[in-house]
Every structure is written in structure tokens, then in C-alpha cells.
Amino acid sequence: MHSLSQVYKDHPVTLHHPLMDLNTMEEVPESYVWPPFDDYLDDETAKNSSIPIISLSEPSLDVLNQISSACEDWGMFQVVNHGVSSQLLSEMESLGNRLFSLPMKQKIKALRAPDGISGYGLARISPFFSKLMWFEGFTIAESPLEHVRCLMPDDYEHFCSIVQEYEHEMEHLARRLMELILTSLGLNKNDVKWARNGFESMHGVLQLNYYPLCPQPSNAMGLAAHTDSSLLTLLYQTSTQGLQIMKERHWVNVPPVPSAIVINVGDLLHILSNGRFSSPLHRVLVSRAQHRFSFAHFWGPTSETSIYPHPKLLSLQSPPLYQSITWADYLRLKAKLFNRALSSLLLSDGIPATNQ
């Protein structure tokens, strides 16, 4: 059983809407119509800023500086020359294409149980919103074999072997990035218990995301604004537009860069860095012209590992801002409080999590 499964069992995602096949819609049904959202993209700040692109080809002091500035200023950056082959990335894209273009009656054979972690379904954050998102997802927490066997009885072995290879490559990259990020904070592997043994205890959950073409994109929302509950998220956004990040109260596009992987600081890394690295709000808008695929890999320590502001980063001038919490408990808190979960752990004027 995946170490986070119990959390999902305790917090089932129940929805009061039937699943609809968005691919066949000629207009956006009422349950998917969002109030007009503020679009600050015409603003000069948004136009003139773009998230950093960092090359990992040669590890150097300069790369560490680029990483720490990107994590501080944006909480997001794109990496290139990261070692994951572009052929593997495009194979993943074809798998996503095949999986999500299956007929709905086939896809629901792999439906995620309300209290389950893996399978096909709506966005996990859906219960916090009265409107549905223009989104389909397929979550892989352990082996996808059982689900994929139902979905593609003739070709499940090929599908699973590509996913396995992708997970393996991403795990390698996630560990490498985590090491660079800790180093950029002035920490080494021995300073962080779960980082010893080459980050062996880091775990990932892979989420395949699909945003179908939308007949009225300005009325719909692909994925509503949220922060990630991970330490770090590695996102391959294929060559499609749609992802936006909130920066200084403006939404900024995250343009696709060929073969680049988007790295997103999650809430746990924000806590560990004692607020120095930001965990940015981000969202996905949909389009009439182009559907979107993305593959998000959420990385964290084992579910029972405590995360807290690292003592080496604290001083009289920078006292700890957050309480200590395990990944499992953080997900429980997020399932209750959603975007207020992080601030509920603030030590000064926040509400202590234990009193929720």
C-alpha cells in the first residue's frame, strides 16, 4: 500500500456532479461555468517577467545561485539539459494522448474510488469549489498495472513499461534537484534526516493531467488556483500553453519550452526553508484551439517524516515561522482547509493546526 493511502481513505473526495464527457461538448454546461476571472495579463509587470530557465548541464556555483534566487523570487523555474531524454518525454505524451482519448465508458473502468489515491477522475481539489474544472486526471501512486489492464487490455505492458522508465528518470532528477536545492539553502545531506542515503526515502505520486478543448474558454477553469502540498513538484507540460503562476498579485504565463521540466516549490519546502522559498499559487486556463497534457510528479519524504523550519536556517533574527508537521498530517490539513492550510501552521498569528 502506498504510504499516503491511509490519508486518502480518511478524506474521501465526494462530488455531487456526474462525470461528463467534456470532449463532446459544444458549449460549457452550467456546472462548469466559472465567474469571470480577473485577467491581469495585460499588465506590464506580467508581460515583462518570465520564470527563470536553468540549465543543469554543468553543476556550478552559478547554478546554485540561480536555483536559490528562482526559489525565492518565484518558487518556480524551468530546467533544461536535465538528462531526461526527449524521446521518453514524447513517449509519455503519446501515452497520455491514448489514455485520455479512450471513450468515457472505457475510462470509467479505472475510476478512482472516492477514498482511493490511484485511477481516473476529477481534480482532487474539486470539492473546494462549487463549479467543476475542465480537467481529467489519472493518478499513479504505485503500479498502474491493474487500472491500465482494464483500460488497454491489448497494450498495457507497453504502457506500464514507459511509465516505469519515466518514473525512474524523474526520481533521479527529483533527488538531484533536491540536493541542489538543499545545498543552495546552505544545508547538506547530513543536516536533513530524510536526505541521508541519497534521498532513498523520497516518494512520488504521478498525476497525468488532460485539459480537453473548450468551446468557451473564458467561462471555464482548467485547474483552479492552488499551491502544491509536496516538497517539490516536477511538471512536464508538453508543448502546450495554459499554466500560470501568481507573482506579486499578477498572473504570469509559464510558456512551454521544448523538453523543459517545470520545477515547483511545494508547501513542505516552504516550511523547511522557513518561508525563504515561496510555494506559489498557480492555475491552468483552457483553450479553444489546443488541448493540454501535463504530467505532474509530486515528491515528498515518507508520509510520517516530520518537516519543520530547519534549525540551521534559524537565528534570533529569524525565528521559526511554522510548526512541525508530517506529510500525511499536512495532506489531512489541506483536505480540510485547502489554501489556508499553510497559514494555519504559522506560529505567530496563525491558528495552531492541532486545534483545528
Interface region with ligand OGA, contact rule CB under 6 A, candidates 17-25, 176-184, 235-243, 271-279: 235-243
Quote the least distance from Cβ 284 to ligand OGA, whole Å. Answer: 5
Q: Which is nearer to ligand OGA, 152 or 235 (CB)?
A: 235
Does 228 help bind Ni ion (rule: CB under 5 A)?
A: yes
Please give the grid coordinates belonging to residue 34.
466559472
Does 284 help bind ligand OGA (rule: CB under 6 A)?
A: yes
Residues 6+ apart with CB under 8 A from 149: 156
DSSP 3-state assignment of 137? strand
Task: Name which of 265, 297, 259 is nearest 57 in CA terms.
Answer: 259
Cα dihedral: 212, 216, 222, 226 (round 10)? 180
Q: Give how many residues touch ligand OGA by CB under 6 A.
A: 11
In one letter, which amino acid is 300?
A: G
Quote the least distance from Cβ 206 to ligand OGA, whole Å. Answer: 10
The residue at minimum Cβ distance from ligand OGA is 294
Q: Which of 283, 292, 332, 340 is catalytic?
A: 292
C-alpha angle with apex 353: 350 to 355, nearest 5 degrees?
100
Quote the least distance from Cβ 79 to ligand OGA, whole Å. Answer: 16
Burial status of residue 149 (CB atoms within 10 A of its CB: 0-12, 13-18, 19 or more): middle
Q: Which is nearer to ligand OGA, 238 or 305 (CB)?
A: 238
| Number of Cβ atoms within 10 Å of the Cβ of 331 | 22
Q: Is 292 a catalytic residue?
A: yes
d(CA 350, CA 102): 46
Mind giving me the DSSP string for 1-25?
A: --TTHHHHHHS----SS----GGG-
Residue with cell string 480537453? 212
Quote the least distance from Cβ 208 to ligand OGA, whole Å. Answer: 9
Q: Which residues pair with 121 in a beta bridge?
A: 137
Does 329 help bind Ni ion (rule: CB under 5 A)?
A: no
What distances in angstroms separate CA 75 from CA 97, 263, 350, one per listed residue?
A: 29, 8, 22
284 binds, among Ni ion, ligand OGA, none (CB under 5 to 8 A by kind): ligand OGA
Quote the least distance from Cβ 256 to Ni ion, whole Å. Answer: 16
Q: Which is nearer to Ni ion, 164 or 253 (CB)?
A: 253
Quote the least distance from Cβ 227 to ligand OGA, whole Å. Answer: 9
d(CA 123, CA 22): 14
Which residues, numbered 106-165, are part of the site for ligand OGA (CB under 6 A)?
A: none
Q: Which residues pair with 140 in a beta bridge?
A: 206
d(CA 90, CA 165): 13
Choose which of 66, 139, 294, 305 interacts with ligand OGA (CB under 6 A).
294
H helices, E strands: number in the chain? 10, 14
Does 237 help bind ligand OGA (rule: CB under 6 A)?
A: yes
Residue with cell string 497525468? 208
Please give the grid coordinates belonging to residue 262.
517545470
Choose which of 282, 310, 332, 334 interacts with ligand OGA (CB under 6 A).
282
Does 223 help bind ligand OGA (rule: CB under 6 A)?
A: yes
Quote the least distance from Cβ 99 to ligand OGA, whole Å. Answer: 15
326 binds, among ligand OGA, Ni ion, none (CB under 5 to 8 A by kind): none
Q: Which is nearer to ligand OGA, 144 or 309 (CB)?
A: 144
Choose which of 22, 148, 296, 325 interacts with ligand OGA (CB under 6 A).
296
Catalytic residues, by residue number, are 292
List residues binding Ni ion (CB under 5 A). 228
Q: Interface residues with ligand OGA (CB under 6 A)? A: 207, 209, 223, 228, 235, 237, 243, 282, 284, 294, 296
